[in-house]
Amino acid sequence: PGSSPCRSVIMGAKAVGVELNKKLLNLQAGEHLTPEFLKINPQHTIPTLVDNGFALWESRAILVYLAEKYGKTDSLYPKCPKKRALINQRLYFDMGTLYQSFANYYYPQLFAKAPADPEAFKKIEAAFDFLNTFLEGQTYVAGDSLTVADIAILATVSTFEVAKFDISKYANVNKWYENAKKVTPGWDENWAGCLE
């Protein structure tokens, strides 16, 4: 529940009407390193989805898979190559820039009791500046309706909120965030995981 990638998959599944059979792994106890789990996912990362014997990991790939396989329409991941390219760009931005900036700044403090790194904090601010620019005049992060990109970025931004990062300094992000919380299926479960 504390993992924003896991929470994004929970919201994505809700958005397409898939009921997940969730299994909680105790990472501190090494449950992701058992032979049984490594057989499913040799990279031993979470989330991992198993759908009728098909195993997939990396939350953004799982979001796309769920939307393509189970979406009643293509609204979450449209078939139009240009719309899809923009969604993919935002998914990669989330993975490589926005979420990565969270990991680089907060994880050393959480897991290694390291002091806060001001240079890493500047990268968070730069990532939010980019997201704020992407959202100029936009209700959604990649087009004119909710997509898997919104779901992934919502999970990340909510994690920043619970870590007490001041989102309100970024007017476009703040406006998008308030709307995304209202229109994204599974928001309540996402927020409960954040608070946990």
Q: Which of 3, 4, 8, 59 is catalytic?
A: 3
CA atoms within 13 A on the CB side of 33: 4
Task: Please report the DSSP string for 91-133 in residue order.
Answer: HHHIIIIIHHHHHHHHHHHHHS-PPP-HHHHHHHHHHHHHHHH
Q: Check if the beta carbon of residue 105 is closer than 8 Å to that of residue 120.
A: yes
Q: How far is CA 113 from CA 23, 117, 118, 120, 121, in A?
A: 29, 12, 15, 15, 16
Q: Check if the beta carbon of residue 135 is closer than 8 Å to that of residue 173.
A: yes
Say how far apart CA 134 and CA 70 lie, in whole Å: 28
Is position 3 annotated as part of the catalytic site? yes
Which residues are annotated as catalytic? Answer: 3
